[in-house]
Structure 1
């Protein structure tokens, strides 16, 4: 069955993809430019943030192109003329970026090597399982029970990720400073809030009878979730890295120690 969208519906999705591309591109440039403000021992987390938005930028360019190719403008409406919109680009992106997002949070805290390795391995396995289990339901028919079944299965590793972040990681924060703890708490609640967008968007085809409205809402919500979960998440990781660099007394080449940084320092803004 061909999907037919009004001009407003088509352009809303089109512009949301454009917004994500601009956001990822700006974040990529920003992370590259501010990397030198972070002490060398904390730069790996910024490198991971840069990789995340770079990977997302590439995939959203592909998503954007696939959306354009999937529709033809006919009689004042946009008709999907047989070229399928490739939903797989999103899942390939998530398969790469979600484990990296979780890894950058663990890496920036500079825990013991054993604890860091254990957390990254377990979170990566859970993240891959979450994405892999969600995909069969994503491509299933809206009125099929398969979407619900696979969605429930995908939720199990998601709940495990939350357990690790809020319970196990929480036990590892005792040696962190107050400012770092505050930023880590912010990161964990951002994960909870922004990742909560995805299952809602995932179930919209089963909840909204109008196929066009369901598809538009799903694509826009996924786009909003990606902006919040990647550039914004990376900014908070940067704030943690800057705070820890200040605590270490790091001095930028040709600059002043971060402990004497001006009030408009990026981490100060992120903590506000």
Structure 2
């Protein structure tokens, strides 16, 4: 971990605080709204809240680790010698990223066999993507190790994108008209928000940055992507489940 300016430290500190608030508020919103959801869609909304709950917990751990890594006094930021634990973020992703795809599959009301098949294949690809990216993230620098592992993690990512836009297209087109647009938007939110992760991951290779600037880009960038991919995406899942619950044809 590189030394940071006071402004850089505060920016990341506030981003983590925002992440905690967004995730925990989203969890309350989803779970308190369960009474408005038909039984067949409740599991999707429960998992939606579970994703943001897990993320909120890990952001609390990330926040504590960040505070422990630095001493701030009179506008000066010094390293304490305690390592900032980047593994919290990857443990969170390993648990939540596959569940994000399961949310979308469950709320689409596919056949049982198709639901199981797509949940296993897409969830497994998402887990593999995270596992492959981790060694590069903790390699300790912007070097070949980070690049190779990042490139490998893109393989399952591209498979997920292909599956969402080709493998699920027929299923999405068969959805009720009142939710088809929302499901299509949710698909785009997954792809665009997840694309932000490799962008942040590889950006230091494209634009030379000092240690402090690279840390800000990575930590703030990942936090923004997390809020969009989990909290905002969850709102879309809730809206789809709510609209289907209100429709006699799908409830």
Structure 2-normalised TM-score? 0.95
Paired with 1:250 and 1:160, the residues of 2 have a C-alpha distance of 30
Once the two structures are superposed, the pairs formed by residues 32-181 of structure 1 within 5 Å of their partners are 32-73=31-72, 76-181=75-180
Contact 2:193–2:229 (8 Å) recurs in 1: yes
Paired with 1:194 and 1:167, the residues of 2 have a C-alpha distance of 19
How many pairs does the alignment contain?
A: 250
Paired with 2:4 and 2:151, the residues of 1 have a C-alpha distance of 30
Which residue of structure 2 aligns with residue 257 of structure 1?
none
- 2:4 partner SS: strand
Paired with 2:87 and 2:101, the residues of 1 have a C-alpha distance of 22
Cα gap change, 1:247/1:65 in structure 2, threshold over 3 Å: closer, same or farther? same
Which residue of structure 2 aligns with residue 210 of structure 1?
210
Contact 1:190–1:229 (8 Å) recurs in 2: yes
Name structure 2 gaps, 5 residues minimum.
Answer: none
Q: Deviations over 1:25-75 (max 9, x none)?
A: 111111111111011111110000010011001000000000000011256
Which residue of structure 1 aligns with residue 28 of structure 2?
29
- 1:196 partner SS: helix
Name structure 1 gaps, 5 residues minimum.
Answer: 252-272
Ranked by relative contact order (alpha carbons within 8 Å, sequence separation 6 or more), the top structure is 2
Which residue of structure 2 aligns with residue 220 of structure 1?
220
Paired with 1:16 and 1:143, the residues of 2 have a C-alpha distance of 23
C-alpha displacement of 1:202 = 1.2
C-alpha displacement of 1:180 = 1.6
C-alpha displacement of 1:124 = 1.2
Paired with 2:209 and 2:175, the residues of 1 have a C-alpha distance of 49
C-alpha displacement of 1:141 = 3.2
Paired with 2:178 and 2:214, the residues of 1 have a C-alpha distance of 41
Paired with 1:12 and 1:161, the residues of 2 have a C-alpha distance of 32
Contact 1:142–1:205 (8 Å) recurs in 2: no
Cα gap change, 1:121/1:137 in structure 2, threshold over 3 Å: closer, same or farther? same
C-alpha displacement of 1:81 = 2.6
C-alpha displacement of 1:200 = 1.5
Answer with 164-173 or 242-251: which moved more. Answer: 242-251
Paired with 2:61 and 2:128, the residues of 1 have a C-alpha distance of 24
C-alpha displacement of 1:243 = 1.6
Contact 1:4–1:77 (8 Å) recurs in 2: no
Contact 1:205–1:215 (8 Å) recurs in 2: no
Paired with 1:37 and 1:43, the residues of 2 have a C-alpha distance of 9
- 1:78 partner SS: strand
Structure 1 consecutive aligned stretches of length 4 or more whose deviation exceeds 6 Å: none
Which residue of structure 2 aligns with residue 235 of structure 1?
235
- 2:139 partner SS: coil
Contact 1:95–1:128 (8 Å) recurs in 2: yes
